[in-house]
Structure 1
Amino acid sequence: MSTFDTDAQATLAENQDLAAAARAAVLFTLPLYEMSRMRSATSARRDSAGHFAGGSPESTCRWANQWVHTREPLGPRNREVVTPNNDTLYSSTWLDLAHGPLLLDVPSMPGRYFVLGLLDFYTNPFAYIGTRTTGNDGEVFLLHGPDWDGTVPDGVQTIVCPTDSTWLIGRILVDGADDVAQVVALQDRLKLRPLPGSGARVPSLIDAGMQPGDRPGDTTLFVRVVNRALAECPLPAEAADDLAYIAICGIGPGLDADALSHQQHGAIERALTEALDELSGALPSALGGGWALPVAVSDSFGTRYRERAQVALNYIGALGIEEAMYVIADRDAADAPLDGRMQYLLHFLPEGLPQTDAFWSITMYDKTTRMLVENPLQRYSIGDRTQGLSYDSDGGLRIAISAEEPVDPALRSNWLPAPSAGFYLALRLYVPRAPHLSLTFAYPPVERQ
């Protein structure tokens, strides 16, 4: 074998190693990029006095430790978060715990479902405050980062956050337009304040490092954002070896995105393109009838990096399955992609309605944008609280799904409008019961008519 052949084989092996490391790096860090983007998109741009973070609307700075509330259920015009729900009002804040702990005051919410879910910067839903876990009585909670070691005030529950930058997403159930004002009043009673004597700031000025519209196609920006996040967020113990492996492609804490070699840049660019295409693809119909469970996390994804990346790209902000299950259909029972130009039927038998301790709903989304769909009824979901549904004489429920109004008069009140294009459905189960958690529940097939 010539020296040229030996060198060529060594170069090929090196390129293959680099490509494999780039793929591993992208799958590992894509959630960090998406969390950085969501921090930019959903953090407050103005403080309570109206001052822009960073002094201008063009700045990448944001206000952390400040609530951002939605004051009505989300609709098609809301574009910040993919696959949003239409059942609750959101109350969101990005916590900056790097300077000290925060106290969180939660009001009493008798008889009303709510949850304040906490996600670390790796998208792990590690803790909950709310109906299921802490009850509906008003309480005070101490939230602190991984390195704080201090005295907790009496009568205060403590939650340790694995990363100093933590996303707190609150959902408070709203029952129709007449109920919105009551929920808004509850939102206004959610308070964040510094632990006395600590250095915590409310609000806290942070630099998100990017704008909401920055998608992960700019390779240099991607590497810059994730390298910064890796430096700021303690690495989960199980990921130490993975971090050492992906460093060969220029991704890691303290590495310079502007110093990428041509080979590193190309490998990451290809890995990003391939991963985004792969992770946006069709879901396996693992539950039968067109249904799948893309989010099957409890409190941590662990080393399931591909699953974590797919959830971050498509369902970021999702809660763990004990709190909420998101059962998705983007194909029908015959495994054909769902298309609003066709007509579909979901038939829940009387003994086959979803079983939850809170509520359930089925929401319609455009397949391309992953957003809610404009329609003449302004109906974006159907569930156990939807007024005016027509149930079968035996107690079953049939839901018609199409872009055009159903011809059958009996189904018109049960119509979930679809776009005249590809779509998907999300069946949300808040506090699901055992048949769902054990994956033994029989979901009705999405049948094309």
Structure 2
Amino acid sequence: MTEQEAVEQGIAELASEAFVVGFPLVFDLEQVGRFTHEGLGAVPPTPFNAFGHARTLAGPETTFVSVNNDTLYSIAQLDLSIGPVRLTVPAVGDRYYVLQFVDAWTNNFAYVGTRATGSAAGEFLLVPPGWEGEQADDDPTVIRFPTRVGTVVGRWAVAGEDDLPAVHALQDATALTPTLETFAPPAGIPEVAAGPTEALTFFERLRVWSREFPPADHDRDALATYEPIGLTGATPIAELPEGVRDALEEGYAVGKQALESSLHTTVPTTGGWQVNLHVFDYNTDFFEVGALDSRGWQLTDPTTRYARRAGAALGGLWGNHGYEAAYFPTYVDAAGEQLSGARVYRLRLSPTPPVHAFWSLTMYDVPHFFLVTNPIGRYSIGDRTPGIVYDDDGGLTITISATRPDDAKAAANWLPAPEGEFRPLLRLYAPGPAVLEGSYRLAPIERTDSIDSADSIDSIDSIDSIEDSITDEETR
């Protein structure tokens, strides 16, 4: 290997690391910009510092990773370059809702809602980094943003079509009001036009946006290691030497492949389910109202934190902490084979998930994690699904297949699947202690089109014991 080749290999290795470290920022801000110009599914395009409200539940037209079909969204992109903004929320009664606050690096740093602040009406003052305003005792609760631009993701539980008008009224009563008079528009996100390749576009956005939206102090140290290869400096990526740009292309490809494969391999599984309540625990610096500043909810190991953060952004951007909503995805059946619409499956939940709010199982395609068009317009099934039929013991048996079951009970409890590969995701809103402590166990999804049903049911205990030993080994 020549000296030049060694240099370029070193640059490629650093670039692959930089891709993982910087992916959440770039991906997040791309979606923020997309939201203000295009909207998100049923949420219309909305300018900064205003809520956009979905009036209908998400469907296959909502091309956003792992979008939920349980709630109506109210989403706002905040740009506090205009100064503090006042948030007003209405009284909601016994309805579950949450307003989740996410910074530009995808840190969940505050929560307002049923779990965090209760069901009463309230006001909050959203302030930019470095704000030094004075606050009286009777002033609204201050929520400090780590970055000038941030996202508020609101979710409102909906009991059905008849419940929509009541939720619409709550959405309309949720308001953002600037506190300073100004004719200047929000500064927004610096425009970075698409470059000649996907890789060079990514690294130019990382260069520009990381300078505009600095991360936590210890993350700045990580970014500083990429300055020698031009990823955080003042020189545009397009003006770097050709050999450097070629190495960046190589590093981008390696980092991207590693990130995509990590979604399948980095999380311990139980019964085929990826069981990790801490996938969004990479925030270790910013804790405002509703966010738990507890070491039990903080991932501090830098060797895994950046990879976890990038995987969370790719597989579930703007997902909640586990104590607000627990997420359990799976790609495989009880035999460890990839789930596919070419087969028929059964999932038995007995007991059903213990939650303080509600739970649901949502179907997504692979690899995009989008909702899937189906003949009955059902994208998720859960404890609020009309017409489901429970088992005699109070459990629920769900049929998962691309074709509608002939049996009436199976059809009532049918979660339609695409014809190709798929990934269901179980969501538990306000999960109960048994979930948070790890004592609640999920049975595997079983294939039923080629195995004896009775034998399959009897095999769950032995499968669980095997999974116990595997999981113990993986997590030691």
TM-score by length of 1: 0.88
Instruction: Tell me, yes or no, if the aligned pair for 2:237 and 2:245 is still in contact at 8 Å.
Output: no
1:39 aligns with 2:32: yes
Alignment of 1:92-171 (within 5 A): 92-152=75-135, 154-171=138-155
Matching of residue 305 in structure 1 with residue 306 in structure 2: yes
Which runs of structure 2 are paired with 1:261-276 in the superposition (5 Å)? 261-276=241-256
Q: Deviations over 1:28-70 (max 9, x none)?
A: 1111111111111212569xxxxx99xxxxxxxx821121111
CA distance in 2, matches of 1:299, 1:280: 18
Q: Which amino acid aligns with 1:259?
A: E
The aligned residue for residue 382 of structure 1 is 381
Deviates more, 1:118-127 or 1:9-18: 9-18
Matched residue, 1:234? 214
Equivalent residue number for residue 195 of structure 1: 179
Q: Which residue of 1 aligns with 2:466?
A: none
Q: Provide the secondary structure at the position in 1 that maps to 2:363.
A: strand
2:259 aligned residue (279, 286, 294): 279
1:366 matched to 2:365? The reply is yes
1:27, 1:299 → 2: CA distance? 13
**Greater helix fraction, Structure 1 or Structure 2:** 2
Distance in 1, matches of 2:9 and 2:73, equals: 45
User: 2:264 aligns to what SS in structure 1?
Assistant: coil
Residues 380 and 133 from structure 1, CA distance in 2 versus in 1: closer, same or farther, beyond 3 angstroms? same
Partner residue in 1 for 2:401: 402
**Which residue pairs with 1:340 in the alignment?**
341
Whether 1:64 aligns to 2:61 is no
SS at match of 2:27: helix
* Among 18, 22, 36, the residue aligned to 1:25: 18
CA shift, 1:75, in A, is 0.5
Quick one: distance in 2 between partners of 1:334 and 1:312? 29
Rate the CA distance shift 1:253–1:426 in 2: closer, same or farther, 3 A: farther
Runs of at least 5 residues in structure 1 that lack an aligned partner in the other structure: 1-7, 47-51, 54-61
Counterpart secondary structure, 2:169: helix
User: In the alignment, which residue of structure 1 is the partner of 2:160?
Assistant: 176
Give the stretch that moved more between structures: 258-267 or 230-239. Answer: 258-267
Partner SS state of residue 38, structure 1: helix
| Correspondence for 1:244 | 224
In structure 2, C-alpha distance between the alignment counterparts of 1:121 and 1:409, rounded to whole Å: 48
- The percentage of aligned residue pairs carrying the same residue is 35
Deviates more, 1:406-415 or 1:156-165: 406-415
**2:48, 2:38 → 1: CA distance?**
9
CA distance in 2, matches of 1:290, 1:437: 19
Greater CA drift, 383-392 or 273-282: 273-282
Q: Using the alignment, how far apart are the partners of 1:416 and 1:182 within structure 2? A: 27
Deviation at 1:16, TM superposition (A): 3.0
Residue correspondence of structure 1 range 82-97 to structure 2 within 5 A: 82-97=65-80
1:149, 1:344 → 2: CA distance?
57
Q: 1:299 to 1:23 in 2, by over 3 A?
A: closer
Counterparts of 1:216 and 1:72 in 2: how far apart (Å)? 39
Is this contact kept in 1: 2:24–2:313, CA < 8 A?
A: yes
Note the 1:396-435 alignment, pairs <5 A.
396-435=395-434
What letter corresponds to residue 212 of structure 2 in structure 1?
A: E
Supply the distance in 2 between the matched residues of 1:210 and 1:83 (Cα, whole angstroms).
26
Give yes or no for the alignment of 1:292 onto 2:308: no
Aligned counterpart, 1:4: none
Q: How does 1:44-55 map to 2 (within 5 A)?
A: none
Q: Which residue does 1:57 correspond to in 2?
A: none
Q: Larger deviation: 278-287 or 229-238?
A: 278-287
Larger deviation: 114-123 or 12-21?
12-21
| 2:186 counterpart of 1:204 | yes
Is 120-129 or 153-162 further displaced after alignment?
153-162
Q: Match of 2:347, SS?
A: strand
Q: Deviations over 1:75-99 (max 9, x none)?
A: 11122x2110001110111110123
Deviations 1:269-313 (A, max 9, x none): 222223333322352462321110466223616541111111111
Q: Tell me, what secondary structure is at the counterpart of 1:133? A: helix
Q: Quote the Cα distance in structure 2 between the aligned partners of 1:229 and 1:216.
A: 19
